[in-house]
Amino acid sequence: MRRGVWILLLCLLPVVARALNCSVCGREIHGQYLRAEGKILCSAECWEKLLPRCSLCDAPLSGRYVKFETGGKEHLYCMKCAELPHCFSCDLPTRGVRLPDGRTLCPECAATAVRDPAKAEELYRRVEQEVFRILGSSGCGRTRFGLCSLAELNPGHGVADGKKFELGRCRYERRSRSDTGETVSEKCTVRILDSLPEAQFIEVAAHEAAHDWLNHHTEHVPAQWNEGFAEYVASLVNGRHGNASRNLRMEENPDSVYGGGFRAVRDFARRYGLPALLEKLRGEW
């Protein structure tokens, strides 16, 4: 997400003409006209129609405005709308729904929010199986799953614009024999934040399912490769669901563990292939 304040400057020149046509309405002009960005305009009203519009209130942006970039798309906002609360999911200004825990969701994100526990588990299981098919083997078994609140995932943290929160968690427990190191039992529990839009839920589910696989098949993987692998698998699932634009966040993430890890894993997989990546992760670190 990038944002910045922009100023739109258009040169309006009253000129006397013989007979011209307005570039906007097509009306024949006799007398004075306006020229803006190489176009001939009959009136201030037609000039206003050329201006970019606020993505929220649709007001013409003739002066200072704010530009946001998310998912490879630009969104422009007037200064008033830019000061509104930001959607917890897409981070764009909104007059949307306020959840009991303080989060705000824009109408678009709220429309697909995953709130029902049964439907959430059904969707998680589908994503989980998709991840295991991509990786060629399953995780530790039937992982326990559940939705959870913002406070449960992020104890002691309140909602604030721009603040980063955990959206999911994979907790893994393994019991091994002290003499041989043989695994006696293992247990995995995945929790995902409630009310995430479906596309974001799928991404988080793929990330946590990848952790499940990694915990079952590997040991002592460095944090950068651990999180980078989970992000990489999530990026593959995003692509399969038509949400490849969501991967821009991973591409541009400055965090050395998540962003740096994703790019390291992605580059290795591109160069050597997925089977070689999985073999590397199963090896000694």
Examine residue 231 and state whether it is found in any structural domain, yes or no. Answer: yes
| Residue that is written with structure tokens 């695994």 in the block | 183
Cα 268 from Cα 35, distance rounded (Å) = 54
State the DSSP code for 53.
Answer: B
Residues 6+ apart with CB under 8 A from 263: 228, 250, 251
Examine residue 41 and state whether it is found in any structural domain, yes or no. Answer: yes
- Which of 161, 188, 217 is at the close of a domain? 217
Task: Give the SS3 label for residue 172.
Answer: strand
- For residues 146 and 160, state if they share a domain: yes
One-character DSSP codes across 63-96: SEEEEEEETTEEEEEEHHHHTSPBPTTT--B---
Its domain, for residue 270, covers 218-285
- For residues 187 and 222, state if they share a domain: no
Examine residue 99 and state whether it is found in any structural domain, yes or no. Answer: no
One-character DSSP codes across 223-259: HHHHHHHHHHHHHHHHHHTT-GGGGHHHHH---TTHH
- For residues 211 and 228, state if they share a domain: no
- For residues 66 and 119, state if they share a domain: no
The one-letter amino acid code at 262 reads F
Count the Cβ atoms, other than its own, within 10 Å of residue 222. Answer: 11
Total domain count for the chain? 3
Examine residue 93 and state whether it is found in any structural domain, yes or no. Answer: no
Smallest CA-to-CA distance from 150 within 84, 194, 106 is with 194
Examine residue 25 and state whether it is found in any structural domain, yes or no. Answer: yes
- For residues 201 and 228, state if they share a domain: no
- For residues 210 and 256, state if they share a domain: no
Query: Where is 205: in which H helix or E strand?
Result: helix 198-217
- For residues 211 and 272, state if they share a domain: no
State the DSSP code for 212.
Answer: H
- For residues 36 and 72, state if they share a domain: yes
- For residues 230 and 190, state if they share a domain: no
- For residues 164 and 257, state if they share a domain: no
- Which of 192, 217, 242 is at the close of a domain? 217
Examine residue 92 and state whether it is found in any structural domain, yes or no. Answer: no
Q: What is the predicted pLDDT for the residue at 17?
A: 45
Q: Report yes or no: 194 and 116 within 8 Å, Cβ to Cβ.
A: no
| CATH code assigned at 59 | 2.10.110
Q: What is the predicted pLDDT for the residue at 41?
A: 83
pLDDT string in tens for the chain (285-residue length): 555 665 554 544 554 545 688 888 888 887 777 887 778 888 878 888 888 899 999 998 988 999 998 877 899 999 999 999 999 999 999 999 999 999 999 999 999 999 999 999 999 999 999 999 999 999 988 799 999 999 999 887 776 655 678 999 999 987 777 677 677 678 999 999 999 999 999 999 999 999 999 999 998 999 999 999 999 999 999 999 999 999 999 999 999 999 999 999 999 999 999 999 999 999 977
Examine residue 94 and state whether it is found in any structural domain, yes or no. Answer: no
- For residues 141 and 61, state if they share a domain: no
| Residue that is written with structure tokens 């400055």 in the block | 254
- For residues 135 and 209, state if they share a domain: yes
- Which of 217, 250, 265 is at the close of a domain? 217
**Long-range contacts, 85-90 (Cβ 8 Å, 24+):** 85/161, 86/161, 86/162, 88/159, 89/196, 89/197, 89/200, 90/197
Examine residue 276 and state whether it is found in any structural domain, yes or no. Answer: yes
